[in-house]
Structure 1
């Protein structure tokens, strides 16, 4: 950390050098003297500012920060709802420090426009507050802050990075939903007594009404006393209180992630699923979740209660931080290089190999080359990641803690790279999601997700949230799975993100033509899957962020339609 000239300092230095050159060429001693005086003053100011670099090296400056409870119920943080970040600067040195700006390094979905500044006198602490706006739900991490210190005249500055990772949980956006969007079909098998009054044919239940006999009413439902009084056939309508079982099949593939940051179909899908879960649990119903792409990514069995709602939210947030080998588009070399750079900046740990071993050296089995040809020690990187994971999860051997850590399960064929992916998951290191897949894998993923959804019982309502891309590549497998779903589930609704609603608006005629081509291409990908679902009697509805879930799902039991955008 060495002080450097600011723009003002460079201008002053350039002026002094210009005076010196002009004075020397034209033999003007006053200009040469003026240049010498400016350079002398500049050097003196540099020497006066240099102790700040010494204080930084001796770690006399501390940075701490915390996030107070949000404005949502229970103090939760929600997408598109700005929250406050409190920063505290402590000066343990012997001189006053001027913090010109604070550049907070955080996840890409956290929008930070402010760069707080402060003046901290020796032996004191100063607190400042800044605002952060989360653009999307998920497990977000604030990695640290780069502080820029300057002198009183603004001629010199020095930058220092303070690693201080802090994780925040951002809940999905709140979408209004009046009640249960889809009710249980009459006559369906129920598991337990609940809050919904549903008309059922049977001999048990409370009397709902007496009405005139119509064609198809069973003989045993005839109310003979009422028939004798009215002189015409009257039948009894009974009702029971039952629980509706919902299952959401959430597509987390690459097509669902394309779009503006925080406004992609996956963001709308997570918001809608959270709203459905809140509505179902608020009505005493049960709801389960299966997220899938080319395979089921996660599964949550159907249950009810507020604790289960929080579990649904946690699973939805997990879909935004996927690090599995088969679902991310990153090579082994890129992964190792990414984690190595993070360790170097965040933990001051260098795992680079300065001198390559001989070609026949067995150490090559634990060495990985990065994209730029730099060699990294994979074994050392894995050990450091495991150690940091244990510390993050509360099992620090030096402190003697006996708390059992909750491991993050990742899919990785190479045991040496598994700790690196776990570390990326816990520290919020973002890995690019895979946008292509092998032929037929998407059909297989949907089929496996359906098998898990109907394995534990017969769900009353199944909501599929997907862009339907690639599900007809293995049509035989998809047809068999959808047929089983229709046999097992009472009502099946497919919500498809509208291509028109999730693409950015065009500002120029050429941009409009490109946008029209993209919409046409996406509709071409949707059409085969839509036709396949319609053939199996599944309602397919195109949805946009501004559409009402009550109207989308509740109206889907009628004719198959598309929402006008």
Structure 2
């Protein structure tokens, strides 16, 4: 238990020390005794505060979440309210000056009331408002209550470790949250408008030129005689589309403001495509890739399949794996230790410092109490996988690594597209949600895979995140190790020259980026790929495609 002095206590302590110092200089015992008495009173107030707070904790001061559920699901960008209850089982009232959440940094939380009083043997209802700007499985680990001791000279934070899970799904899938998952819903899942594809049927699709392999019974003899070329009748058969959505989840796409990063927008775009085709009764498959294939789900239909795709968009884009996280094993162990200490019955007092094996064993024993049950993330050892799984289970964030991986993701995309070409049933629509390949070495295998899709009569659309110069990091002037300006920008003239050079460099980066994007768009359009832009602004119904996209 830690006690923190208030501003009043700090002022009184400074005054007491000053009075005692003046008395020593003046050689006046009365003044020294007065200052010493003030310091003794401060020590007694600290002891009284410690005893009173210990009494509150021993009497059963606790926090509970209202309702039986420990996990709530919501759509990205929405705000939900969670009710909690603070109980005071002591015979004395407890006044608190601040109530703050202990939660993932991916959530924005406000609490009402943030200050107040819990009556003796009473209960206080607390409303926790959670705003979720980013998809993922995030944790609200508990609340911290700062209690004033007598007579308001010290504050004691009381931490209530009571984990609560918030699963944030992509915004277009918010309508799928209350959907049924079985029974009659499976019978109704196939309803919708069917698509049309070439094949044996009664409806004429078009007259086209004869190609090797076309049967003679389809030759339109009269039309061929009029044109002077062999023409073949193509018929239509009613068939639902087989749609594949391919999403690039490279770690550098998480860079940007919370909720406005390129991957935030790309996940919403992929979810919008999935929801649109699922509502028509089409079969939808999903592939998530980065430097490796992170998810590959065969096409299916219905609300239950939509729930599965939404869950994969949340979990497969995470950064708890060792290859995608900026935390090494020691950093992960520190986070596990800090979170596990209030949950452990002994407060980890019997755990030796640096004993990661026992820490992993203790964390694995507590993990069933977590709100989420994720699979073990990638790790360099079984112990590291156990520790990383603890972070994922309790919704503790793991920052994305700083090194880029898109130099490998282009080759992975080519492998994913080649696997889609070989899959059955054959794809009729393929949506790639990713930036264009950034290197010539990556472009060739990707373009070859796109040509194979075109030969199989699949319609391909490539959705690119729209480049926003406002999301670029600022060009800060160079500084020394102590944070002071370096010699290059010490005086005004040098600083102005540096700012001018930085502006030219920034403009060069913007021009180079725009040229690379336009070149990629040109190459894709030559292959018959429809290119669209993912815009940061959303329509009233995010599941509807932007008709102005080009």
The corresponding residue for 1:385 is 363
Does 1:151 pair with 2:149? yes
Q: Distance in 1 between matches of 2:406 and 2:263?
A: 22
- In structure 2, the CA distance between the partners of 1:60 and 1:331, relative to structure 1 (3 Å rule), is same
Gaps (5+ residues) in structure 1?
70-74, 178-191, 224-235, 355-375, 395-405
Q: Per-residue CA shift, 1:291-316, capped at 9, x if unaligned?
A: 00011101222111111111111111
TM normalised by structure 2 equals 0.76
Q: How far does residue 321 in structure 1 lie from its aligned partner after superposition?
A: 2.6
Between 192-201 and 327-336, the greater mean CA deviation after superposition:
192-201
Contact (CA 8 Å) 2:326, 2:398: kept in 1 or not? yes
Taking the aligned partners of 2:308 and 2:525, their CA distance within structure 1 comes to 32
**Per-residue deviation, 1:220:** 5.9
Q: Give the corresponding residue for 2:286.
A: 289
| Matching of residues 113-512 of structure 1 within 5 Å | 113-114=110-111, 116-151=114-149, 153-174=151-172, 195-196=193-194, 198=196, 203-204=201-202, 241-344=238-341, 346-347=343-344, 348-349=347-348, 353-354=352-353, 376-392=354-370, 408-436=375-403, 441-454=408-421, 455-470=423-438, 472-488=440-456, 490-500=458-468, 503=471
Distance (Å, rounded) in 2 between the aligned partners of 1:58 and 1:463: 59
Q: CA deviation at 1:460?
A: 1.5
Equivalent pairs, count? 489
Alpha-carbon offset, residue 525 of structure 1: 6.0
2:269·2:534 contact (CA, 8 Å) conserved in 1?
A: no
Mapped partners of 2:28, 2:19: distance in 1: 9
Partners of 1:384 and 1:489 in 2: how far apart? 55
Change (3 A) 1:257 1:68: farther
Task: Give the whole-Å Cα distance in 1 for the aligned partners of 2:18 and 2:308.
Answer: 68
Shift of 1:262: 1.2
- Cα distance, 1:493 vs. partner? 1.0
Q: Secondary structure at the match of 2:64?
A: strand
Q: Confirm or deny: 8 A CA contact 2:272 2:543 kept in the other structure.
A: no
CA change 1:2–1:342 in 2 (3 A) is: closer
Asked if structure 1 preserves the Cα contact closer than 8 Å seen for 2:376 and 2:385, the reply is: no
Q: Give the conservation status (yes or no) of the 8 Å contact 1:92–1:122.
A: yes
Contact residue 56 and residue 160 of structure 1 kept, 8 A: no
Shift in Å at residue 255 of structure 1?
3.0
- Aligned twin of 2:60: 60
Shift of 1:391: 4.4
Change (3 A) 1:436 1:307: same
2:93 alignment partner in structure 1: 96
Does 2:9 match 1:9?
yes
1:8-47 CA-to-partner distances (Å, cap 9, x unmatched) read 1111222233333335544678766764664465455434
Contact 1:68 1:85 in 2 (8 A): no
Please list every run of 5 or more consecutive structure 2 residues that lacks an aligned counterpart in the other structure.
176-189, 211-217, 224-232, 477-498
TM-score, normalization: structure 1? 0.74
Mapped contact 1:321–1:425 kept (Cα < 8 A):
no
SS of 1:420 mapped into structure 2: helix
Q: Could you tell me whether the CA contact under 8 Å between 1:290 and 1:453 is conserved in 2? A: no
RMSD: 4.1
Aligned partner (choices 533, 540, 547) of residue 542 of structure 1 = 533
**Counterpart position of 1:182:** none
The secondary structure found in structure 2 opposite 1:308 is: helix
What SS does the aligned partner of 1:261 have? Answer: coil
* Structure 1 residue 242: Cα displacement: 3.0
Compared with structure 1, are the counterparts of its residues 50 and 390 closer, same or farther at alpha carbon in structure 2 (3 Å cutoff)? Answer: closer
2:143 alignment partner, SS class: strand
Deviations along 1:160-209, one digit per CA (max 9) or x if unpaired, are: 322111111122224999xxxxxxxxxxxxxx99513648686425x99x
